[in-house]
Structure 1
Amino acid sequence: MADSDAAAAVRRRKPEAKAPVTPPSEATDAASSSEDSSRKAAPAPQKKKKNPKAKLEDEDAYSPYVDILRVITFLLFASCGLSYLISSGESFFWGMKDPPNYMKVDWWKSQLRGPVYLTLTELAQFDGTDESKPIYLAINGTIYDVSANRRTYGPGGSYHWFAGCDASRGFVTGCFAEDRTGDMRGVEDMFLPLDDQAVDKHFTRDEFEALRAAELAEAQRKVHEGLLHWVNFFASSKKYPFVGYVKRPAGWPGTEPRRKLCKAAAEQRKTRTVPPKEG
């Protein structure tokens, strides 16, 4: 009897219902949707509005000196960089020995005032002995500023003879100290041969006259080309700016005595050669 009662009790006992298992992904999505809904439900925090007194205190606390310091610092670094670039690494603070023309006050003055006209006496004041003044030289009556090469044209320089004057004659003859003048009369003699009776007797009178005329024309051509070389040199140079012109007295150069050929130029003259015999 007891065994039948136990069997009946087993038959009456039913299995307990198990809770459904939710996959991990579905559980995560459910949690996210739950958080989103709670966020939407919660009201957004409102910013506190500052009262006029607080705004005024903030404005009083602001100092413009910080921004001014930033601007000054930027300009300082920009200036140093630009100086280094323009001077090709020579200086960070514009301390260049030979600054470009556009950084020179005298150059800008010359561009604005136009050409100047100086007498030889006035031109002599710009020979470089006064360091506060620029160095001028003139060639063929045109004045140029050679201050950019003060080492060469200033006192003690190899070409100091050309400073403060028109030394066109010296540019051709090579007599720097003696020919500090623009008077070119007689310079062609340095390219003319010397007369020699032993040689000249081989020419007839007509041949000799024609020969002399050809020699003179050739000598004048050499003088012209020799002077033109230096005229073009200064005229085309970006280093030596144009200044103006030399004021000559009326009738010049006839107002001065004719110069003799300097010793160095005279010594290079040679005698003619005997013409080759025909046949």
Structure 2
Amino acid sequence: MAEVRRRKPDPAKDVPAAEPDTDSESEPVEDVQPKEPVPPTKRIAEEDASSPIWLEILRVLAFLFIASCGLSYLISAGETFTWGMKNPPNYLQAKWWKAQIRGPVYMTMSELAQYDGRDQSKPIYLAINGTIYDVSANRRTYGPGGSYHFFAGTDAARAYVTGCFAEDRTADMRGVEEMYLPIDDPTIDNRYWTPEELEKMREEEMKEALQKVHEGLLHWVNFFAHSKKYTRVGYIKRPKDWLSNEPRRKLCESAAGNRKTRTPPEGK
């Protein structure tokens, strides 16, 4: 009887038949997608959304405090971080804003005299060259007993130049230039100069003296006009011919005492 030889199975060809699908519905296969990276801004927003409300308030307050310190430092030119400026700029002062809204006031000399500091309920005003300023910020100096109380409640432009505070509480500047003029001494003048030379010399001396008076008064006018401590209030009301009704003043003793005679030319 012949021997029956069996063929070895070939894996490439002998593939088992697929099992019949006995279920009515096949199971769904989960579609797995790779996760996209979360943008930093979205992550921060999600974290902020989960932050407690008290933490948000604390952040806002901290920012406002730092911003306030920086702004104070810039406005005060490095003077302070806390708005504790000794002389805050005008736009940070309530009285400055009131003056801007109200506009300048016009006072007679008798009205200005009521603001000399004796009445504590009123500000202290002074005037120079017709312009009124509020100097209440320095009440100790301009108030009663202060070293500059002579200037309060009046226009003492003359005193700013002569230095005679008590005697020259007036805006009459006539004759102030004499303090810069030499004293005429015939024994010296006629010896060294001819009449023509003296006349020309006196003209130059007068011109220089008037310029010194102008510069001396202008210094104080600018001092108050550019001050961060004092504010401009308004102006003095005077009649146009007020000087014609004022007696001409003599030069005060202190200013007159500084006058000298002309110095003889060198070599003579």
Structure 1 position 196 matched with structure 2 position 185: yes
Q: How far is the alpha carbon of 1:277 from its aligned partner?
A: 4.5
Q: How far is the alpha carbon of 1:241 from its aligned partner?
A: 1.3
The CA distance in 2 between the partners of 1:230 and 1:193, in whole Å, is: 25
Q: How far is the alpha carbon of 1:276 from its aligned partner?
A: 3.2
Residue of structure 2 equivalent to 1:171: 160
The CA distance in 2 between the partners of 1:127 and 1:254, in whole Å, is: 26
Q: Deviations over 1:84-118 (max 9, x none)?
A: x9698899xx9998776556543322110111111
The CA distance in 2 between the partners of 1:95 and 1:222, in whole Å, is: 40
Residue of structure 2 equivalent to 1:276: 266
Q: What secondary structure does 2:133 align onto? A: strand
Residue of structure 2 equivalent to 1:63: none
Alpha-carbon RMSD? 3.6
Q: How far is the alpha carbon of 1:275 from its aligned partner?
A: 2.3
Percent of matched pairs sharing the same residue: 66
**Unmatched tracts of structure 2, length 5 or more:** 1-52
Residues 226-241 of structure 1 mapped to structure 2, 5 A cutoff: 226-241=216-231
Question: CA contact under 8 A between 1:194 and 1:270: conserved in structure 2?
Answer: yes
Query: Which runs of structure 1 show a deviation greater than 4 angstroms over 4 or more consecutive aligned residues?
Result: 85-91, 94-105
Residue of structure 2 equivalent to 1:207: 197
Q: How far is the alpha carbon of 1:197 from its aligned partner?
A: 1.5
Would you say how many aligned residue pairs link Structure 1 and Structure 2? 215
Higher deviation after alignment, 165-174 or 226-235: 226-235
Paired letter, 1:234: F
Question: CA contact under 8 A between 1:90 and 1:96: conserved in structure 2?
Answer: no
Residues 1-279 of structure 1 mapped to structure 2, 5 A cutoff: 101-102=90-91, 104-202=93-191, 203-277=193-267
Question: CA contact under 8 A between 2:89 and 2:228: conserved in structure 1?
Answer: no
Paired letter, 2:225: A
Q: How far is the alpha carbon of 1:136 from its aligned partner?
A: 1.1
Q: How far is the alpha carbon of 1:269 from its aligned partner?
A: 0.5
The CA distance in 2 between the partners of 1:204 and 1:241, in whole Å, is: 53
Q: How far is the alpha carbon of 1:119 from its aligned partner?
A: 0.6
Q: What secondary structure does 1:220 align onto? A: helix
The CA distance in 1 between the partners of 2:139 and 2:213, in whole Å, is: 28
Q: Deviations over 1:1-40 (max 9, x none)?
A: xxxxxxxxxxxxxxxxxxxxxxxxxxxxxxxxxxxxxxxx
The CA distance in 1 between the partners of 2:202 and 2:80, in whole Å, is: 59
The CA distance in 2 between the partners of 1:237 and 1:98, in whole Å, is: 9
Question: CA contact under 8 A between 2:87 and 2:228: conserved in structure 1?
Answer: no
The CA distance in 1 between the partners of 2:126 and 2:90, in whole Å, is: 17
Question: CA contact under 8 A between 2:90 and 2:228: conserved in structure 1?
Answer: no
The CA distance in 1 between the partners of 2:87 and 2:123, in whole Å, is: 13
The CA distance in 2 between the partners of 1:158 and 1:220, in whole Å, is: 28
The CA distance in 2 between the partners of 1:262 and 1:247, in whole Å, is: 27
Q: How far is the alpha carbon of 1:176 from its aligned partner?
A: 0.6
Q: What secondary structure does 1:184 align onto? A: coil
Paired letter, 2:241: G
Q: What secondary structure does 2:155 align onto? A: coil
The CA distance in 1 between the partners of 2:93 and 2:190, in whole Å, is: 64
Q: How far is the alpha carbon of 1:137 from its aligned partner?
A: 1.1
Q: What secondary structure does 1:194 align onto? A: coil
Q: Which has the higher helix share?
A: 1
The CA distance in 2 between the partners of 1:90 and 1:267, in whole Å, is: 50
TM-score, normalising length: structure 2: 0.67
Higher deviation after alignment, 95-104 or 215-224: 95-104
The CA distance in 2 between the partners of 1:103 and 1:270, in whole Å, is: 50
The CA distance in 2 between the partners of 1:255 and 1:208, in whole Å, is: 34
TM-score, normalising length: structure 1: 0.64
Question: CA contact under 8 A between 1:170 and 1:176: conserved in structure 2?
Answer: yes
